[in-house]
Chain A
Amino acid sequence: MSSWNLPIKAIGESPLVGEGTTFDSVTDTVCRVTENKAPRGWWVAFLLAASFTGVLLTAVAYLFWHGIGVWGNNAPVYWAWDITNFVWWIGIGHAGTLISAVLFLFRQKWRTAINRFAEAMTIFAVICALIFPGIHVGRIWYAYYMLPLPNEMSIWPNFKSPLIWDVFAVSTYFTVSLLFWYVGLVPDFATLRDRAKNKTRRLVYGSLALGWRGSNRHWQNYERAYLILAALSTPLVLSVHSVVSFDFATSLMPGWHTTIFPPYFVAGAVFSGFAMVMTLMLITRAIYGMRSLVMMKHLELMSKIILTTGSLVGYAYAMEFFIAWYGGNDYERFLFVNNRMTGPMAWAYWIMISCNVLSPQVFWFKKFRTSIPVMFVVSILVNIGMWFERFVIIVTSLFRDFLPSSWGYFRPTLIDIFTYAGTLGLFFTAFLLFIRWVPMIAIAEVKGVMPEADPHFGHDDGGHEGSPEHMAAHVAAEVEASS
């Protein structure tokens, strides 16, 4: 069939780790981050992120006390930053599953260097996303109405509403991502347990490793589980952002009511997710000396994915315009020409176009695709652009609706800004704790794609294992077996 179980050499690829990397150096490079003292920069970043988490808690408490009026949402813009932030965070969360599931099914072995990292990011991003629909209900004590639970009115959720599909899609996505992440972590927790120098570490990592002993009878079921989870997560990741887009697409608002939304949202989600992985990876890789495991080759491949998905998103923007013109609906055309490209919200539209469509085009050139400063700047621009994409979709469709007498404008309040900045703080707090205490690169998976992992390594190519004793041992073993 395909090449997923063939050694990397047999499918004509170059090694995915730097020269001189051994199994032992992989273990050591990844594990020592959790074993050594945190660098000072980590503490600075952690305290900063933690204080922003405090800002989030304060902003949310203020919101609960006073109600949704503390946000800028008001007639005619009833959906604004809260939903923008929700969709933005969910989108960022898509890269993890894409890398761990979709690239796994496509046999992209380079995914091993970044999948753990991206999956962790997914989980934290989805947590940040889940905050918004939760607090957006205004009266938080009624949040349970979102779930099919018996209540005093003996009424059930309306399952014909995409908003309720969203509840199921996002919570399933979070749960499955967490399970997938944990399954991947078990062998690496075993590595940390076996390296533990003190009782606490041995106890904590030992419990998390569940008694893993690398048994091949276990690996067999483990690999099958990984394959099944990948096969489940691939349609899941496509469904989640499709369902998020249904929140808009099933409405009758110009600019929302379009059939292109599901694939367009999924492409945008992957785009922003990869950009966030790249931003974080460039920093972490430099600080923790992971250059032999996350090589320029990986970064270049990520740049190519950003270019591809960025161009897909650009195509979707163009197609929306084409259909607005071709469809002949006056409201639709008015929205795109007078409310998006021109008009008082045009600044947001043009930020979106320049960040999302124009900036990734530099990756057509190998020189920029392999330049760390360029990658860093573009990845930040893409994250900004993708936030504006959601802002443009949501706010420009609402601020001038069908009745000109109710036209308005949207301005965020300080609480809007604090809440958003606070979720960034929560995300980075969780992320920094992750890189401090959890192996940030999938040790077992990286080892599995090294040339040495091939059971036939060094036997057919006269490589460095062909020492006389080694050969003698083999000959002796063969003789014994045949006798």
Chain B
Amino acid sequence: MSDTHDAQKSEAKKDDAAPALLLAEFETPGDCMHAAEKLRDAGYTQFDTHTPFPVHGMDQAMGLPDSKLGLIVFPIGITGTTLAFLMMHWMNNIDYPIIIGGKPASVASIPSMIPIMFELTVLLSAFATVLGMFGLNRLPRHHHPVFNSERFANFSNDKFFVSVEATDPKFNVEKTKMLLEGLHPTSLEVVADDNEGGDFDGHAEGSHA
């Protein structure tokens, strides 16, 4: 994939639609993190980095607050514990009392309920963790303008991208471009949103030579 071809592509896209984001490509995680720091310091908020693996220190470099996931998981986990207790208490002690092994059909036999209370806590917490994580990330998502860039397919291999969304209050095609150029990316392009939900024929086809 040559750079000129890329440039033509993005030129063509720029004519069609308003830019959705600026996408800069870097060779190393260090350069990418450096770019994130610069954008953070310049006051940008609607920007992101796209990396093949989580880069340590990137959260601070981007100025992100701590993940909220724990706040979702904890109450749901406690719900699991409570539900398990209520279920066993109602079924074995109230609805159809079972007196077995000399253990009373009452709350006093709570030791024998511990294993299932634990298992349901873990089960509900695990669902809360996974669904909560995807929920916070707004995934699954059918389309994102960043996929309109042909180079972007390399994010999952060995390239590191920085994207600045046009919705950022500080976004200005020329000024933001200048800022990113100063960081010496290996490529920089304006990506438009075609609202097509993924262009299957063109994109990604030849991007892995």
Contacts and interface: CB of A to CB of B under 8 A. Distances in A.
Interface stretch (A58-66, A84-92, A192-200, A276-284): A192-200
A269 to B, nearest CB: 17
Interface residues of A, number: 83
Contacts of B44: none
A168 interface: yes
A159 interface: yes
Interface in A221-257: 221-225, 228-229, 232-233, 235-236, 239, 243, 246
B130 A179 contact: yes
B82 interface: no
A354 interface: no
A452 B143 CA distance: 31
A155 B28 CA distance: 63
Contacts of B140: 210-211
A216 B139 contact: no
Interface in B42-64: 48-59, 62, 64
A172 interface: yes
B126 A455 contact: no
Interface centre among A23, A236, A455, A457 (most CB of B within 10 A): A455
Interface stretch (A70-78, A291-299, A474-482): A474-482
A460 B186 CA distance: 22
A216 B122 contact: no
Given A159-B112, A176-B126, A229-B129, A220 B53 contact: no
Given A210-B141, A444-B52, A448-B53, A229 B130 contact: yes
Given A159-B116, A212-B139, A216-B62, A232 B129 contact: yes
Given A156-B92, A194-B157, A220 B101 contact: no
Interface residues of B, number: 83
A453 B64 CA distance: 20
A172 B70 contact: no
B109 interface: yes
A228 B137 contact: no
A384 B188 CA distance: 59
A214 B157 CA distance: 10
Interface stretch (B5-13, B148-156, B169-177): B148-156
B81 interface: no
Given A216-B51, A223-B54, A236-B122, 19 more contacts: A148-B87, A156-B95, A158-B92, A165-B119, A191-B52, A202-B204, A210-B141, A215-B49, A215-B50, A219-B53, A221-B67, A224-B133, A228-B69, A228-B129, A232-B122, A448-B54, A454-B30, A458-B30, A481-B38
14 contacts: A6-B56, A22-B158, A23-B158, A160-B103, A191-B157, A194-B155, A196-B204, A211-B142, A218-B139, A222-B54, A239-B119, A453-B53, A457-B29, A477-B38
